[in-house]
Amino acid sequence: MTKTASILRLNANDTDFRTQLDALLSRETDTGHDVQSLVANILEDVKQRGDAALCEYTQRFDGWDCTAEKMVISRQDMANAWGRVSEEDRQALTLATDRIRAYHERQLQQDWEFTDAQGLTLGQRITPMDKVGLYVPGGKAAYPSSVLMNAVPAHVAGVETIVMVVPTPAGDINDLVLAAAHISGVQLGFAVGGAQAVAALAYGTATIPAVDKIVGPGNKFVAAAKRQVFGTCGIDMIAGPSEIAIITDGGHPSWLAADFLSQAEHDEAAQSILVSTSAKLLDEVAKHIESHLKNLPREPIARRSVETHGALILADSLKQAAEIINIVAPEHLELAVDDPDALLPDIKHAGAIFLGHFVPEALGDYVAGPNHVLPTNRTARFSSPLGVYDFQKRSSVIRSTREGVKNIGPAAAHLAHREGLQAHALTLELRLGDDA
């Protein structure tokens, strides 16, 4: 008998299905009190002692003799790495960069204003942030694609300074990461990671400048650190383990199984969910999952992910499948059906949606163009993918003539009095007086 991975099987029509689904989705986000407390101590230490604390933590966690000078990754270092990688690497990074830029240029917002009937001119100004920090994961794998997905939209938005931090276990710096930093225009990098790197970006040290916003995914310590520094600076989101959900009513079971595993190989805590209207297809996919697992270099990670957090769900219809997905609110969603456009209007909550049989999630991870920094852990219910808008700010603009303030000022003064704010009212009443 062929062994298959032990993956949870659910039926959407079972009376306790919603209870089972909620239990499946209630993954531990690994930012409990113990993690938060440890991270708080690291943040405060780096805030108080700067580079000295930063290097001590780097030596302890990454295992190399860190100094302020050694942690710096210069533009020349990035250019040298660009020269060392293969021509195929350079072509792939260039293609990805060009496509990511083209997509994100369409997200640029413009200033606008209008004059209303009362004589006030109202508007909005769009301005970029001055300085952002890019956190690039570098623990279990190196992710040059994350450099591109964060740095390119920041450049498109007009950010002046992009600072990259990347953990370097044993002091090894990945050339592909540096090459990606080179082509995407990162101005300055630092070979540090973890909560200590987030602290350095938030508070600044003698070597690392403080930034206005920190973007990019990381492990549970990075997520906890970003949560705690929010307010000192901005953050993009609290990123959790990766996720994929798939709706299918047919298709190639081997393809579907590979897609199911595409996020599982990231992390033991990643989640893969496949919803199908065919019980037979679910059986076939399960067999192919096992077959693919045996050939994956990261098989132990992927197997633990699918056996701990994965699920194959039987639904009566595609409409019911969509209802399930809207509860899941996944980071990545594949609509592996013959007519995905007919199903798309039923999808309300998903970070990125891949339509049809020929667009696996991995295409979006690297070269499609849309951003792969996406909301996880059901936050797609209220969050969006990273984009140019994350690196720009909106300012309200209000201009009024004498006639304008006379038209609407009395109402404002009345409301100010009602709130007990007489000085507010006075500013208006003086302008409404006969000697105005």
Exposure string for 85-117, b = 16+ CB within 10 A, e = fewer: beeebeebbeebbebbbebbeebeeeeeeeeee
The reported pLDDT for the residue numbered 138 is 80
Q: Residue 27's pLDDT band (boundaries 50, 70, 90)? A: confident
The reported pLDDT for the residue numbered 2 is 43
Please indicate, yes or no, if residue 378 is contained in any of the structural domains. no
Sign of the Cα torsion 218, 223, 228, 230 reads positive
Closest by CA position to 82, among listed 163, 175, 151, 20: 175
The reported pLDDT for the residue numbered 41 is 97
For the chain, how many structural domains are there in total?
A: 3
The reported pLDDT for the residue numbered 75 is 96
Among 104, 182, 292, 332, which one carries the catalytic annotation? 332
143 and 265, same domain (yes or no): no
Please indicate, yes or no, if residue 376 is contained in any of the structural domains. no
83 and 153, same domain (yes or no): yes
193 and 267, same domain (yes or no): no
SS3 374: coil
User: DSSP secondary structure string, 147-202?
Assistant: HHHHHHHHHHHT-SEEEEE---GGG---HHHHHHHHHHT--EEES--HHHHHHHHH
The reported pLDDT for the residue numbered 32 is 72
CB of 375 closer than 8 Å to CB of 386: no
Average pLDDT over residues 289-316: 97
333 and 406, same domain (yes or no): no
**Whether pLDDT at 29 is above 80:** no
Q: Quote the domain boundaries for residue 417.
A: 401-432
- Least confident window among 20-29, 101-110, 401-410: 20-29
How far apart are the C-alpha atoms of 435 and 431, rounded to whole Å? 8
Among 243, 265, 331, 334, which one carries the catalytic annotation? 331
> Where does a domain end: 209, 235, 261?
235
Q: Residue 30's pLDDT band (boundaries 50, 70, 90)? A: low
The overall average pLDDT reported for the chain is 95
65 and 20, same domain (yes or no): no
How far apart are the C-alpha atoms of 93 and 91, rounded to whole Å? 6
Please indicate, yes or no, if residue 390 is contained in any of the structural domains. no
Closest by CA position to 97, among listed 44, 151, 45: 151
Please indicate, yes or no, if residue 194 is contained in any of the structural domains. yes
**Whether pLDDT at 28 is above 80:** no
Q: Is 332 a catalytic residue?
A: yes
**Whether pLDDT at 3 is above 60:** no
- Least confident window among 28-37, 72-81, 394-403: 28-37
284 and 184, same domain (yes or no): no
> Where does a domain end: 190, 205, 235?
235
SS3 73: strand
203 and 170, same domain (yes or no): yes
Token pair belonging to 250: 């047919």
The reported pLDDT for the residue numbered 142 is 81
123 and 204, same domain (yes or no): yes
89 and 224, same domain (yes or no): yes
Q: Residue 240's pLDDT band (boundaries 50, 70, 90)? A: confident
Q: Is 288 a catalytic residue?
A: no
How far apart are the C-alpha atoms of 365 and 182, rounded to whole Å? 19
Closest by CA position to 370, among listed 154, 93, 107: 107
166 and 293, same domain (yes or no): no
For 320, other C-beta atoms within 10 Å of its C-beta total 17
How far apart are the C-alpha atoms of 231 and 413, rounded to whole Å? 33
Average pLDDT over residues 115-129: 97
CB of 190 closer than 8 Å to CB of 72: yes
Please indicate, yes or no, if residue 2 is contained in any of the structural domains. no
Q: What is the CATH number of the domain that holds 324?
A: 3.40.50.1980
Average pLDDT over residues 321-340: 98
12 and 44, same domain (yes or no): no
Please indicate, yes or no, if residue 53 is contained in any of the structural domains. yes
The reported pLDDT for the residue numbered 139 is 60
Average pLDDT over residues 204-215: 98
> Where does a domain end: 346, 369, 392?
369
Q: Tell me the angle at which helices 220-229 and 194-203 cross, rounded to the nearest 10 degrees.
A: 20
**Whether pLDDT at 1 is above 50:** no
214 and 277, same domain (yes or no): no
Please indicate, yes or no, if residue 66 is contained in any of the structural domains. yes
Share of the chain above pLDDT 70, in %: 97
How far apart are the C-alpha atoms of 275 and 267, rounded to whole Å? 21
CB of 221 closer than 8 Å to CB of 239: no
pTM, rounded to two decimals = 0.93
Please indicate, yes or no, if residue 384 is contained in any of the structural domains. no
How far apart are the C-alpha atoms of 436 and 420, rounded to whole Å? 24
The reported pLDDT for the residue numbered 245 is 98
Closest by CA position to 127, among listed 159, 104, 152: 159
